[in-house]
């Protein structure tokens, strides 16, 4: 845990990684020890179709100081093969009160499409009291239509570390997320490791959550209410100043970008050295604004949404074409 630029306590959290229980390279116990040593406060080990129970783990920091880490219950339920035309969906089930009623029988059911299976997965995660996350949508070549067709879920990944590792190179889902947000669906955005190899794909994607909020209302509600930011390391804090303006504070950055549903606005990008703050005025026609900051080492942080309509929408607005929902 650390105190950020604004004086707020933050928990360092990774919500997506794997062990030898599925297709990871190191054991479950080694995963826990590695993340504790790296100073994480919370971790979800999300092996494919192998449920991970909640608990605690005490490891040690490099200097030998004990580090107690909360383990969230979790699993990655993947459906669909490698053909994006048929649909490929990887859904994280996190912080469930009980194990979701899901087995490999669903994965192997040839009567159902990948989309139908993914809808069932999300429904069962919610039935078990957890939250559902659409993982690495750019890697999966998901479409804006599919974001809606999946139904109600709590968040998606804007950055997925392992998707830039090995045989992959689509870690960033921001363009797709902006297409979806422009249609009215503004989801909380996570950065995760999705660690498999543990040869450089670890400790690169995380969320920094409001620790006081987590302690008072719980982890799942923290995600639902967007009380965190996603990052590879830098800090980013975006807040509404008034009806027309947002203000950003960050650790020293080389670039600050404000992103919205408009394809171009004046003053959207700031470049320089040691940038630590910026303001942005809403433009006519904008329905949401989010920010990205990148430091001189190429590490990025992604803000929460601070839009004109900041509420998270699970129900598509009227302007979404009907064919997108079929």
Q: What is the pLDDT of residues 121-179, one digit of tens each?
A: 999 999 999 999 999 999 999 999 999 999 999 999 999 999 999 878 999 999 999 99
Confidence band of 322 (pLDDT split at 50, 70, 90)? very low
Instruction: Round to whole Å and give the CA distance between 224 and 188.
Output: 7
- CA 223 distance to own-chain centroid: 9
Q: Record the pTM.
A: 0.94
Least-confidence region, from 165-169, 202-206, 243-247, 284-288: 165-169
Please check whether residue 143 is in contact with residue 114, taking contact to mean a CB–CB distance below 8 angstroms: no
Q: What is the mean pLDDT of residues 110-125?
A: 97
DSSP category for residue 120: H
- CA dihedral 130→135→207→216, nearest 10 degrees, is -10
Instruction: Round to whole Å and give the CA distance between 93 and 70.
Output: 16
| pLDDT for residue 316 is more than 90 | no
- Spell out the domains of the chain, with CATH numbers in brackets: 2-232 (3.20.20.140), 236-310 (2.60.40)
Q: What percent of the chain has pLDDT over 70?
A: 94
């Amino acid at each position: 845990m650390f105190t950020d630029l604004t004086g707020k306590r933050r928990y360092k959290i990774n919500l997506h990684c794997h062990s030898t229980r599925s297709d990871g390279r190191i054991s479950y116990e080694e995963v826990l020890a590695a993340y504790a040593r790296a100073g994480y406060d919370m971790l979800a080990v999300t092996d494919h179709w192998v449920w991970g129970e909640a608990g605690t783990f005490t490891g040690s920091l490099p200097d030998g100081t004990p580090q107690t880490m909360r383990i969230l219950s979790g699993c990655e339920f993947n459906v669909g093969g490698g053909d994006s035309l048929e649909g490929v969906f990887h859904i994280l089930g996190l912080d469930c009160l009980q194990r979701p009623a899901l087995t490999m029988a669903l994965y192997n059911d040839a009567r159902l499409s990948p989309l139908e299976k993914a809808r069932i997965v999300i429904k069962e995660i919610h039935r078990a009291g957890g939250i559902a996350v659409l993982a690495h949508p750019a890697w999966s070549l998901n479409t804006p239509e599919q974001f809606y067709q999946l139904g109600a879920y709590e968040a998606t990944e804007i950055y997925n570390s392992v998707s830039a590792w090995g045989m992959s190179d689509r870690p960033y889902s921001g363009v797709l997320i902006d297409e979806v947000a422009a249609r009215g669906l503004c989801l909380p955005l996570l950065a995760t490791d999705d660690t498999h190899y543990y040869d450089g794909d670890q400790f690169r994607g995380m969320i920094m959550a409001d620790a006081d909020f987590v302690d008072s209302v719980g982890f799942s509600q923290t995600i639902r209410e967007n009380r965190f930011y996603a990052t590879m390391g830098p800090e980013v804090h975006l807040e509404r100043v008034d009806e027309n303006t947002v203000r950003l504070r960050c650790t020293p950055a080389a670039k600050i970008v404000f992103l919205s549903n408009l394809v171009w606005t004046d003053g959207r990008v700031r470049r320089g050295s040691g940038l630590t703050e910026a303001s942005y005025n809403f433009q006519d026609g904008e329905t949401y604004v989010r920010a990205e900051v990148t430091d001189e080492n190429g590490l990025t942080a992604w803000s929460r949404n601070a839009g004109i309509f900041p509420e998270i929408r699970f129900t598509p607005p009227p302007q979404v074409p009907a064919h997108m929902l079929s």
